[in-house]
Chain A
Amino acid sequence: MTKYVVRRLLGAVPLLIGIATIVFFAVNLAPGDPASYFMAPGMTQEVVEQMRTNFGLDDPVPVRYVKWLGSMLTGDFGFSFSHSRPVLDVLTTFLPNTLLLSACALSLAFLFGIFLGTLQAVRQHSAFDSATSVVLLFFYSMPSFWLALMLILTFSLFARNVWEWPVWFPASGMTPTDYDFLSFGEQVRARFMHLVLPTASLALVLTAGIARYMRTSMLEVIRQDFVRTARAKGLSERVVVFKHALRNALIPIVTLAGLYIPILFSGSVFIEYIFAWPGLGRTIVDAINTRDYPLVMGGSFFFATMVVVANLIADLLYAVVDPRIRYERT
């Protein structure tokens, strides 16, 4: 197992350098440059040139590439023009916020998705099954940014101004403006309230997808011989389903999880925009718009690394859920 992990990690090094190279040239050869973003009346050609020099953009592209790759290897991601801070600082500021949001959304989505999918499979063709399918398909086919706006409309605007519910949720931000003056308990509550709508908009769409996969997978497993054997042994239906069938039905879901894990890091740009969530996805998109080259390059490289790591984790998880998979001899 260890040998396998080490080999996978070593194999990732050339892959990452390749990604870094592609990212560098894609960003630097794209039309436009940081100085043009600052275009203003009265900004002369000389100012533009000086700005480029101050940004370190006056060297030819290949020279910049070598310099950039060199400093990346020493862990220096460069300096973000738009945040006036080192790129690594910027990434580490926003990463925890994205992780918080997407971890909540993903765990809820998998929890509910697996649960609902299993129930549907067990009660195939029942009224519950059809009703759930309709609701899930409704959420599945809905773009998450639209769902987000509907949730804001319902649980923030109408809940407070029209229906005057006792509880309504803030539409934006991660903490209230008076956060520093709140007691500890109130701070936790405020955090929770701010998490609800963005988490729900991400999770509802994901749940729907996961439940569909889970239902199919469970339906296949539940018809197999060992399940019948388990029933024949006289085990209760609950144990048959949740103990024996579930573990086997989960294998394809792990593949799915591997595909979803990158979402943990990239977050959902739309959701972060709509809820003014200070996340990494939004930061990188802003950086693209302002041509903040070092931040775009650093951010993309960081995402790429995370995806490579996430895939490795997913592969390792197979071994946990599926005893037939062993990595020693491969």
Chain B
Amino acid sequence: MAETHGRGDGEGLLKRSFFLAIGLVTAACGDGATVSDDPFCQAVLPRVAAFLEESRAANPTPDDPRYGGTVVVGNYGEISDGMNSAISSDYTSTQHQQFVNLMTLIRYDENVTPQPYLAESWEVAPDGRSITFRLRQDVYWHDGERTDAHDVAFTWDVVTDPLTAFPNAAFWNHYVKGPEGIEVIDDFTVRIHLEPHAEFLDAIRHVGILPEHLLGDVPHDRFREHPFGTQCPVGNGPFVFESHLPQQRWTFVANPVFPQALGGRPFVDRYVYRNIPEQTTLLTELLTGNVDIYIAPSPDHAEQILEDPNLELIAYTSRQYNMVIWNARRPQLADPRVRRALTLATNREQIVEAILQGYGVISHTGVPPFHWAYDPEGLPVLPYDPQAARALLDEAGWRDRDGDGVRESADGTRLEVTIKYNPNQLRQQTAEVMQSQLAEIGVAAQPQSVEYTTLVRQINDLVERDFDGVLLGWVTEFKVDDLDLFHSERIGQPYAWSGTRNAELDHLMEALNLTVDREAARPLWQQYQEALIAEQPYTYLYFPERLGGVNRRLRGVVMDARGDWVNIKDWYLDPASR
């Protein structure tokens, strides 16, 4: 009897492991290419698959060893907005819209000069009030429809409509918005109307064109919810969407009918984007060869990548800059001399060396290194000079009157500032370094960590502006436009963080915004930056270098200010490694 029970227990165990195995197996069947059950996707994806098969049959892969294989890119987050260019501001999403799945009318070359892309040519009217784009006639949506001028007009209509809430509304400041802003001349010609202004093609370069035949019926205020973005995008770019497993990966395949004149189909057969939120894991996956590219490793991972002979490290100055914004509404920060002293006392070389391990370029204004007007040599920059900082504070009337190491004004206000930042190791270290550097000139700086969206509210709220100093990273477009940040008339807008008023800056920003000719703009940029350095609404810290870890079996990878995916079409895998 006892023995029977003994065996019974054994059977229970057996049974349990059997069910565990069954569970595993059923789970295995349940995965794979999950097709969204949304009716829109159900209708669209089979058409994409059919057109892909048809165009593959008609366009065999060219006989060149560079074609073929799968490239895997690992990054810390999702492609959150997907291919929905109408609502997108997220970096990874716009990269995929511009270079992977969709096409823009024009694109930049490595010198940030506009080049033909979906538009094969364009012409600016002599009065500068319209641009006429002539489109390529050999670009097809991935479901087989041809891309034409109506798609461009449709996209324009959507992104400039306030109902859509396109995040970068400032793009359209000098354009005629809505249907009046764009004319369809013929099926492959459109004309866009605008007021002449600086770098007017930058907004055009940004926006991926969307398919009218699929999205024409979507109410503009419902674009963010549409499954097109993340469940079944249909683009016209070099890569065709295949599948998206949320939180795991996106898979794209080469578009066999991508125009020959633009280089034809991409070299790789498949491109997989993997979402790996933990950087240590991502580094492991790069080192073990499970991903070919690790996007934006932190500086402390750079060394391990450099040590591995199979890996290559790419470093480039991105469009980001980091700064401390001073709230000039605060009595202790109202005087530009105080703000200049804070900058003079900040050893930015040390911050870049110690915290970024050298992967950064010191900044003095928001004009980034890739910009044509970038020329720090010619600027009256504020170097690290604590002696000068002390003298400036003395002159401004801030002295340590009670001998406690912190300066006071004549009415007893202490020179104290909190420096807020969102939780992030680099920011925290920067704030702490600044705290000790500022202490040397008698300024009591207190670092304070605040969760990101809360921080945004504290600094953007027009009434509160609840901060003295805040450490922030800001990404510029290729068109540098500081109007929202510094113009006196926008002081009632969220981004007038510093709240400084400076008539000279106002005048120069307005002039720069409307000066089309670069040679005429160059001296204005010089004056503007000089005035900005004198005003010091921010202590500009550095332009971080964005890194990329790349497996050497992947060739031809270019990453620069245009982005990490800019030439994905030309990446190819070493044939011996496949």
Q: Interface of A with B (CB < 8 Å)?
A: 31-33, 36-48, 50-51, 53-54, 79, 81-85, 90, 93-94, 96, 100, 103-104, 107, 149, 152-153, 156-157, 160-161, 168, 170-175, 177-180, 184, 187-188, 191-192, 195, 235-236, 238-239, 242-243, 273-276, 278-279, 282-283, 289-291
Kindly list chain B residues whose C-beta atoms are within 8 Å of the C-beta of A239: 2, 5-6
Question: Closest 8 A-B residue pairs measured CB to CB?
Answer: A32-B453, A42-B170, A278-B247, A50-B165, A40-B89, A36-B456, A31-B454, A42-B168
Known contacts A48-B494, A83-B246: does B290 contact A273 (CB below 8 Å)?
no
Q: Which of A37, A152, A187, A291 contacts B280 (CB 8 A)?
A: A152
How far does the alpha carbon of A107 sit from the alpha carbon of B251 in the complex, in Å? 34
Whether B16 pairs with A278 at a CB distance below 8 angstroms is no
CB distance from B129 to the nearest CB of A (A): 22
Whether A85 pairs with B453 at a CB distance below 8 angstroms is no
Known contacts A41-B484, A156-B284: does B248 contact A31 (CB below 8 Å)?
no
Task: Tally inter-chain residue pairs, CB-CB below 8 A.
Answer: 202
| B28 touches A (CB below 8 Å) | yes
| B410 touches A (CB below 8 Å) | no
Known contacts A149-B280, A276-B248: does B274 contact A177 (CB below 8 Å)?
yes
CB distance from B497 to the nearest CB of A (A): 11
Kindly list chain B residues whose C-beta atoms are within 8 Å of the C-beta of A51: 165, 167
Q: Which of A81, A178, A275 contacts B281 (CB 8 A)?
A: A275
Whether B477 pairs with A192 at a CB distance below 8 angstroms is no
Residues 468-495 of B, flagged 1 when their CB comes within 8 A of A and 0 if not, give: 0000001111000100100000000111
CB distance from B164 to the nearest CB of A (A): 8
Whether A85 pairs with B227 at a CB distance below 8 angstroms is yes
How far does the alpha carbon of A152 sit from the alpha carbon of B286 in the complex, in Å? 13
Known contacts A36-B460, A84-B230, A177-B70: does B277 contact A273 (CB below 8 Å)?
yes
Kindly list chain A residues whose C-beta atoms are within 8 Å of the C-beta of B70: 177-178
Q: Which of B24, B166, B282, B477 contacts A41 (CB 8 A)?
A: B477
Residues 280-299 of B, flagged 1 when their CB comes within 8 A of A and 0 if not, give: 11101101101000000000
Q: Which of B6, B249, B454, B474 contacts A177 (CB 8 A)?
A: B249
Whether B288 pairs with A47 at a CB distance below 8 angstroms is no
Whether B275 pairs with A276 at a CB distance below 8 angstroms is yes
How far does the alpha carbon of A31 sit from the alpha carbon of B459 in the complex, in Å? 12
Kindly list chain A residues whose C-beta atoms are within 8 Å of the C-beta of B280: 149, 152, 274
Closest chain B residue, CB of each to CB of A283: B247
CB distance from A29 to the nearest CB of B (A): 12
Kindly list chain B residues whose C-beta atoms are within 8 Å of the C-beta of A90: 246
Whether A104 pairs with B6 at a CB distance below 8 angstroms is no
Closest chain B residue, CB of each to CB of A178: B70
Q: Which of A38, A81, A161, A290 contacts B89 (CB 8 A)?
A: A38
How far does the alpha carbon of A160 sit from the alpha carbon of B167 in the complex, in Å? 45
How far does the alpha carbon of A279 sit from the alpha carbon of B248 in the complex, in Å? 10
How far does the alpha carbon of A289 sit from the alpha carbon of B277 in the complex, in Å? 13
CB distance from A87 to the nearest CB of B (A): 12
Whether A192 pairs with B24 at a CB distance below 8 angstroms is yes
How far does the alpha carbon of A94 sit from the alpha carbon of B247 in the complex, in Å? 9
Known contacts A239-B2, A291-B453: does B28 contact A173 (CB below 8 Å)?
no
How far does the alpha carbon of A289 sit from the alpha carbon of B452 in the complex, in Å? 8
A-B contact pairs, 28 of them (CB 8 A): A32-B451, A36-B457, A38-B167, A41-B168, A41-B484, A42-B169, A44-B170, A46-B169, A50-B163, A51-B167, A54-B165, A79-B225, A82-B80, A85-B230, A93-B246, A149-B280, A157-B288, A160-B288, A170-B285, A171-B290, A175-B248, A187-B28, A188-B24, A192-B24, A243-B2, A273-B278, A275-B278, A278-B245
Residues 55-95 of B, flagged 1 when their CB comes within 8 A of A and 0 if not, give: 00000000000000010100000001010100001000000
Whether A274 pairs with B278 at a CB distance below 8 angstroms is yes
Kindly list chain B residues whose C-beta atoms are within 8 Å of the C-beta of A39: 456, 460
How far does the alpha carbon of A21 sit from the alpha carbon of B231 in the complex, in Å? 32
Closest chain A residue, CB of each to CB of B81: A84
Which stretch of B30-38, B339-347, B521-529, B541-549 is in the interface?
A: B30-38
How far does the alpha carbon of A290 sit from the alpha carbon of B81 in the complex, in Å? 13
How far does the alpha carbon of A187 sit from the alpha carbon of B282 in the complex, in Å? 23
| B126 touches A (CB below 8 Å) | no
Kindly list chain A residues whose C-beta atoms are within 8 Å of the C-beta of B277: 273, 276, 282
Whether A32 pairs with B284 at a CB distance below 8 angstroms is no
Known contacts A40-B89, A85-B227: does B6 contact A242 (CB below 8 Å)?
yes
How far does the alpha carbon of A314 sit from the alpha carbon of B382 in the complex, in Å? 68
Kindly list chain A residues whose C-beta atoms are within 8 Å of the C-beta of B533: none
How far does the alpha carbon of A46 sit from the alpha carbon of B165 in the complex, in Å? 8
Whether A174 pairs with B23 at a CB distance below 8 angstroms is no
CB distance from A122 to the nearest CB of B (A): 16
CB distance from A153 to the nearest CB of B (A): 8
Q: Which of B23, B31, B272, B287 contacts A157 (CB 8 A)?
A: B287
| B25 touches A (CB below 8 Å) | yes
How far does the alpha carbon of A32 sit from the alpha carbon of B274 in the complex, in Å? 29
Whether B27 pairs with A84 at a CB distance below 8 angstroms is no
CB distance from B59 to the nearest CB of A (A): 22
| B9 touches A (CB below 8 Å) | yes
Kindly list chain B residues whose C-beta atoms are within 8 Å of the C-beta of A161: 287-288
Kindly list chain A residues whose C-beta atoms are within 8 Å of the C-beta of B16: 107
Known: A94-B246, A160-B288, A276-B275; 10 extra A-B contacts, CB below 8 A, are: A31-B458, A36-B453, A38-B167, A39-B460, A41-B484, A43-B89, A53-B221, A83-B246, A96-B27, A273-B277
Whether A44 pairs with B493 at a CB distance below 8 angstroms is yes
Whether A156 pairs with B246 at a CB distance below 8 angstroms is no
Kindly list chain A residues whose C-beta atoms are within 8 Å of the C-beta of B224: 54, 81, 84
Known contacts A38-B167, A45-B493, A278-B247: does B276 contact A172 (CB below 8 Å)?
yes
Q: Which of B9, B28, B82, B230 has the most CB of A within 10 A?
A: B28
Q: Which of B170, B231, B281 has the most CB of A within 10 A?
A: B281
Kindly list chain B residues whose C-beta atoms are within 8 Å of the C-beta of A172: 274, 276, 278, 281-282, 284-285, 290
Whether B20 pairs with A107 at a CB distance below 8 angstroms is yes
Whether B170 pairs with A41 at a CB distance below 8 angstroms is yes
Closest chain A residue, CB of each to CB of B1: A239
Residues 221-237 of B, flagged 1 when their CB comes within 8 A of A and 0 if not, give: 11011110111000000
| B171 touches A (CB below 8 Å) | yes
Kindly list chain B residues whose C-beta atoms are within 8 Å of the C-beta of A46: 162, 169
Whether A84 pairs with B229 at a CB distance below 8 angstroms is yes
How far does the alpha carbon of A45 sit from the alpha carbon of B285 in the complex, in Å? 42
Closest chain B residue, CB of each to CB of A240: B2
Whether B162 pairs with A50 at a CB distance below 8 angstroms is yes
Kindly list chain B residues whose C-beta atoms are within 8 Å of the C-beta of A107: 16, 20
How far does the alpha carbon of A235 sit from the alpha carbon of B2 in the complex, in Å? 8
Q: Which of A42, A43, A289 has the most CB of B within 10 A?
A: A42
Kindly list chain B residues whose C-beta atoms are within 8 Å of the C-beta of A81: 224
How far does the alpha carbon of A231 sit from the alpha carbon of B12 in the complex, in Å? 25
How far does the alpha carbon of A54 sit from the alpha carbon of B162 in the complex, in Å? 11
Kindly list chain B residues whose C-beta atoms are within 8 Å of the C-beta of A192: 24
Closest chain A residue, CB of each to CB of B30: A96
How far does the alpha carbon of A116 sit from the alpha carbon of B272 in the complex, in Å? 44
Q: Which of B89, B167, B248 contacts A173 (CB 8 A)?
A: B248
Kindly list chain A residues whose C-beta atoms are within 8 Å of the C-beta of B222: 54
Whether A236 pairs with B2 at a CB distance below 8 angstroms is yes
How far does the alpha carbon of A204 sit from the alpha carbon of B167 in the complex, in Å? 46
Whether B28 pairs with A191 at a CB distance below 8 angstroms is yes
Whether B494 pairs with A103 at a CB distance below 8 angstroms is no
CB distance from A229 to the nearest CB of B (A): 14
How far does the alpha carbon of A84 sit from the alpha carbon of B232 in the complex, in Å? 12
How far does the alpha carbon of A255 sit from the alpha carbon of B274 in the complex, in Å? 40
Kindly list chain A residues whose C-beta atoms are within 8 Å of the C-beta of B24: 188, 191-192, 195
Kindly list chain B residues whose C-beta atoms are within 8 Å of the C-beta of A85: 227, 230-231
Whether A177 pairs with B72 at a CB distance below 8 angstroms is yes
How far does the alpha carbon of A157 sit from the alpha carbon of B168 in the complex, in Å? 42
